[in-house]
Amino acid sequence: MTASASSGGPPRHVAIIMDGNGRWAAMRGQPRSAGHRQGVEALRRTVRAASDMGIGVLTLYSFSTENWSRPAGEVRFLLELLRRFIRTDVAELHQSNVRIMVIGDRDGLEPALRKLFEEAEALTRENTALKLVIAFNYGGRQEITRAVQALAKKVAEGKIAPADIPPAVIGNHLDTGGLPEPDLLIRTGGEQRLSNYLLWQCAYTEFVFLPDYWPDFDADRLRHAVEAFRRRDRRFGGLTAQTA
Ligand code: FPP
């Protein structure tokens, strides 16, 4: 993964924490499941808008390693929504030249779900427009831990020396290896935290926190977030014309 500056064009990589489905539903006196259902509609709108804007990579936090602690009924519902989304939308996404990738820990997931991920990834592997990265059973600390374990194994087997592990090698052992780092991270729902999302990758990412609940997210809100991002002075620890 490489740090990427954006010079006027669309951000190369936008990551989103889609928060606020439950509160959106509660405000309307509806069950949380209604919020998640509308959340899928917002997700569809966002994928289309990101494609239209020429964004290269869109990474969505669909289910965290911590989300398993929610009530069993809600977990089942979220898993079913994801299954249905992939089954019903994969053909259209493929036609739109979207490449689907899934990041997160697949160990221990039910085989049918793993197969669904693998099939969607295989079908769309050669697509060259938007990369839609779905973070499922994803946790940043767990991802870094898996990368460290893989590297420690290579050291133990004598394949590499500890001194041959610069940050770029660690980055390439993450699930996002080969993708640019997020330029912009958007979190809806009013909270201002990372919640174990892309911890390594967000070292120089610009954050936009929105009060809106995720089911209300749309192309306009995405455009506004990108405009706010464009006004930022990204220095990557150095100096730019404004600060020199
Ligand atoms: C946060 O809302 C959202 C989630 C835990 C999951 C996001 C899921 C979707 C948008 C729908 C399913 C996903 C796919 C990929 C089809 P929350 O429940 O934490 O809301 P709250 O903070 O208001 O309770």
Residue 137 CB–ligand 1 contact under 6 Å: no
Q: pLDDT tens across 41-82, in order? A: 999 999 999 999 999 999 999 999 999 999 999 999 999 999
How many CB atoms neighbour CB 104 within 10 A? 22
What pLDDT, on the 0 to 100 scale, is given for residue 243? 62
Choosing from 17, 28, 36 the residue with most ligand 1 atoms within 8 A of its CB, the one to mutate for a pocket test is 36
At 240, is the pLDDT very low, low, confident or very high (cuts 50, 70, 90)?
confident
Confidence (pLDDT) at 230:
94
pLDDT of res. 237: 83
d(CA 176, CA 172): 7
Residue 7 has pLDDT above 70, yes or no: no
How sure is the predictor about 244, in pLDDT bands with cuts at 50, 70 and 90?
low
Kindly indicate the confidence band of residue 108, based on its pLDDT and cuts at 50, 70 and 90: confident
Residue that the structure tokens 């299954």 belong to: 83
Rounded to the nearest whole angstrom, what is the distance from the C-alpha of residue 206 to the centroid of ligand 1? 22
Which residue, 214, 193, 147, 180, is CA-closest to 59? 180
The CB of 4 under 6 Å from ligand 1? The reply is: no
Protein residue whose Cα sits closest to atom 5 of ligand 1: 63
Q: What is the pLDDT of residue 236?
A: 83
Q: Could you tell me the CA-to-CA distances from 188 to 12, 23, 54 in Å, in that order?
A: 20, 11, 22
Q: What is the pLDDT of residues 70-81, one digit of tens each?
A: 999 999 999 999
- What is the pLDDT confidence band of residue 6, given thresholds at 50, 70 and 90? very low
> How close are the terminal C-alpha atoms of the chain, in Å?
28
Q: Is 196 a catalytic residue?
A: no
Residue nearest (by alpha carbon) to ligand 1 atom 14:
82
Cα–Cα distance for residue pair 138/63, rounded to 1 Å? 7
pLDDT, residue 5, reads: 46
* Residues 224, 210: Cα–Cα separation, whole Å: 10
The pLDDT value recorded for residue 235 is 80
pLDDT for the residue 4: 47
